[in-house]
Amino acid sequence: MNLLLILLSALLYIVAFPGWDIGFTAFIALVPLFRVVESARSDLRAIGYGALWGGLVSTGMGYWLLPALIGHFAMWPPKALAFYMLSVTLPSCLIYAFLIAVYRFVHHRHLAWYALALPALWTLAEYLKEMVPAILPWGGIGYAALPFYRFVQIADLGGVHALTFVIAAINAVAWFLLRSLGRGGASLGSPAQTTGRLPLRYPKTTSAAALVLLLAICLPLVYGSVRLGRINDAINEEMAAGRPSQAVLVQGNFDLDDRWSGMGFYRRLQTYLAMSGKGVPGYDRESEKKQKGEHRKRVIVWPETTLNEPGRMNGGFFRQIMRGIGENALLISGGLHKDTATGQMTNCAYLVSGKGTLMRYDKNILLPYAETSRVFDWLGAYYTAPSEFAAGRTPSFMDTPHGGVGVSICFEILYPRYIARSVGSGAEFLVNISNDAWFGDSPMPRMHLNAARMRAIENRRFLLRTANSGFSAVISPDGRVAKRTELFQRQSIESDFSRLSALSPYTRWGDWPVLFSVIVLGIVLLQMVLKKEARP
């Protein structure tokens, strides 16, 4: 029975995310897991269930990696399976095994424990994914709230970790309520373990649990409704006060061989220049002249590693690009930079202004295994693509003639505080460039897009995202996708956006839900110590 409940919990969790998008299941997905943990006959067995749950969830959400390794990186299948188990499955198993071990150790039957301590424990476990360099912080339960437009707006208060805390609390209190009504399994250390039921003996506690559950659902919805009105008013005021900027996102959709074979670099460059204005279906030259006469600013964004031939990129090369985009434009393009002194390569973004300014951002947070080696090189080299990069040291905030920009490359968008620091430094809009082609047509490009949507909400900024094969999108400060490309299509999209300067509470205060979680668990541990000392 317990194994079936673990499977049910994992399935409910998985289907809450892109690919299925049954978002409401996230609000009940953990209930079967909590039931199993508390009814397990021993700590060791409960920890095993936690590891199993982590393994099932990581497999259900990361299955795409195996065909990507075999097809995209031409990896020997047994080696691909070993890499998958060590880099994806094992870390997830260990994290949730440890979570359940702590769960059993600090467990208490009081409602406050379920409403505060258990959500704090879950929040810290997910925060751990951001702290360990070898683990990618995919699939946090807070992201499952994105389909619920009003509910998710509380992210501007405490980031995605605030959503994690609230959703985990809803699950925990729902389990407490079910158990109190006598429909769950026996709780840890209770006399009811012999019967498998906990009778309804505490009607006041049950009513309090129902009230807490109601508030945990309704308060975010009320906040979101009020906040959305204010955000939209602020955007409309900015649009009316000055001329909005125009975003032009170019999705070249060049395949792996074409991008890294070393051939056709200038042909690809001309394609991107043409798609950035001239040569786009529906392009009106007279309209462009009018817009230039009104000094309309354009921000053009090209994907990751588009300018990937450092030996060909000199002063004359960038002057050609400046002439191609026009003096009222800012181009932000992914590229490579080679340090002539050390020979080290960085994955970077070039910021090229039509008025003659050239800046560069070097990627700070490298993708484990693909951009930096762990023990040994798992993936190897592909054509002229570097097998390893040097970590950048440039700040992610760039002060350009078109305003302050917060730049991130690929999976850097998964790190909330990294993005928030650029906004706190003065970024008026955000840009994320990526190449998601190796994900294939799996849930991962959608999950990557959702991460960008969450960062836009947290910081209340427009976010311009371009990926080589999609999804490329203009994302509003409320998390809505204003305009988007399709997967594996060569497309160019345009949309207006505005630069914003007000700072959200999350940008100002940071990951305070994590600190709050540490305090809550500290209080729980202190109470345990004091009770133990008080015993004769």
Say whether pLDDT at 483 is over 90.
Answer: yes
DSSP 8-state symbol, 153: G
Q: What is the predicted pLDDT for the residue at 198?
A: 42
**């979680």: which residue's tokens?**
517
- Give the alpha-carbon dihedral of 363, 369, 375, 377, to 10 degrees: -110
Q: Are residues 219 and 296 in the same domain?
A: no
Categorize the per-residue pLDDT at 370 as very low, low, confident or very high, splitting at 50, 70 and 90: confident
Average pLDDT over residues 224-228: 94
Say whether pLDDT at 338 is over 80.
Answer: yes
Q: Are residues 262 and 224 in the same domain?
A: no
Q: What is the predicted pLDDT for the residue at 235?
A: 85
Say what percent of the chain tops pLDDT 90: 64
Strand, helix or coil for residue 374 = strand
Categorize the per-residue pLDDT at 183 as very low, low, confident or very high, splitting at 50, 70 and 90: low
- The sign of the dihedral angle between the CA atoms of 269, 279, 405, 440 is negative
Q: What's the pTM?
A: 0.91
**């409320």: which residue's tokens?**
478
SS3 for 453-503 is HHHHHHHCCCEEEEECCCCCEEECCCCCEEEECCCCCCEEEEEEECCCCCC
Say whether pLDDT at 495 is over 90.
Answer: yes
Say whether pLDDT at 151 is over 50.
Answer: yes
Do the domain assignments include residue 239? no
Q: What is the predicted pLDDT for the residue at 127?
A: 96
Q: Are residues 195 and 308 in the same domain?
A: no
Average pLDDT over residues 129-158: 92
Say whether pLDDT at 138 is over 50.
Answer: yes
Token pair of 80 as six digits: 């691909």
The domain tally of the chain equals 2
Token pair of 394 as six digits: 């440039």
pLDDT higher for 376 or 328?
Answer: 328
Token pair of 199 as six digits: 């009778």
pLDDT higher for 51 or 383?
Answer: 51
pLDDT higher for 483 or 296?
Answer: 483
Do the domain assignments include residue 236? no
Q: Are residues 124 and 258 in the same domain?
A: no
Query: Tens of pLDDT along 66-103?
Result: 888 887 777 888 888 988 898 889 999 999 999 999 99
Say whether pLDDT at 255 is over 90.
Answer: no
Categorize the per-residue pLDDT at 204 as very low, low, confident or very high, splitting at 50, 70 and 90: confident
Say what percent of the chain tops pLDDT 70: 89
Q: Are residues 215 and 252 in the same domain?
A: no
Separation of alpha carbons 112 and 107, rounded Å: 11
DSSP 8-state symbol, 89: I
- Give the alpha-carbon dihedral of 363, 365, 367, 369, to 10 degrees: 110
Q: Are residues 355 and 489 in the same domain?
A: yes
Categorize the per-residue pLDDT at 19 as very low, low, confident or very high, splitting at 50, 70 and 90: confident
Say whether pLDDT at 390 is over 80.
Answer: yes
Do the domain assignments include residue 126? yes
Look at 258-267, 379-388, 439-448, 450-459 and tell me which has the smallest mean pLDDT: 379-388
Do the domain assignments include residue 99? yes
Categorize the per-residue pLDDT at 511 as very low, low, confident or very high, splitting at 50, 70 and 90: very high
Q: What is the predicted pLDDT for the residue at 150?
A: 96
Q: Are residues 179 and 315 in the same domain?
A: no
Average pLDDT over residues 356-363: 94
**């406050």: which residue's tokens?**
112
- Report the 10 Å Cβ neighbour count for 17: 27
Do the domain assignments include residue 238? no
Look at 113-122, 274-283, 321-330, 489-498 and tell me which has the smallest mean pLDDT: 274-283
Categorize the per-residue pLDDT at 188 as very low, low, confident or very high, splitting at 50, 70 and 90: low
Average pLDDT over residues 109-115: 94
Query: Tens of pLDDT along 169-180?
Result: 999 999 999 998
Do the domain assignments include residue 26? yes
Task: Look up the CATH number of the domain holding residue 453.
Answer: 3.60.110.10
Token pair of 403 as six digits: 């305003």
pLDDT higher for 180 or 216?
Answer: 216
| Containing structural domain, residue 192 | 2-230+511-534
Q: Are residues 518 and 499 in the same domain?
A: no
Average pLDDT over residues 210-227: 96
CA distances from 221 to 155, 208, 345, 404, 437 (A): 12, 20, 47, 32, 36
> Mean pLDDT highest for which of 234-238, 264-268, 294-298, 356-360?
356-360
**β-pair type (329-338, 345-353):** antiparallel
Say whether pLDDT at 136 is over 90.
Answer: no
Separation of alpha carbons 108 and 131, rounded Å: 28
Q: Are residues 411 and 521 in the same domain?
A: no
Q: What is the predicted pLDDT for the residue at 182?
A: 75
Q: What is the predicted pLDDT for the residue at 283?
A: 39
- Give the alpha-carbon dihedral of 107, 108, 114, 118, to 10 degrees: -20
Say whether pLDDT at 286 is over 50.
Answer: no
Average pLDDT over residues 128-135: 86
Do the domain assignments include residue 489? yes
Say whether pLDDT at 291 is over 70.
Answer: no
Separation of alpha carbons 46 and 466, rounded Å: 44
Q: What rounded mean pLDDT belongs to the chain?
A: 88
Q: Are residues 399 and 440 in the same domain?
A: yes
Do the domain assignments include residue 240? no
Say whether pLDDT at 289 is over 50.
Answer: no
CA distances from 417 to 27, 167, 177, 413, 503 (A): 25, 21, 35, 10, 14
Q: What is the DSSP string of 10-66?
A: HHHHHTTSTTT--GGGGGTTHHHHHHHHHH-SSHHHHHHHHHHHHHHHHHHHHTTHH
Q: Are residues 382 and 492 in the same domain?
A: yes
Separation of alpha carbons 392 and 422, rounded Å: 15
Average pLDDT over residues 315-343: 91
SS3 for 464-476 is EEEECCCCCEEEC
Average pLDDT over residues 308-318: 89
Helix 444-459 and helix 416-424, axial crossing angle in degrees, nearest 10: 40
Say whether pLDDT at 290 is over 60.
Answer: no
Q: Are residues 353 and 460 in the same domain?
A: yes
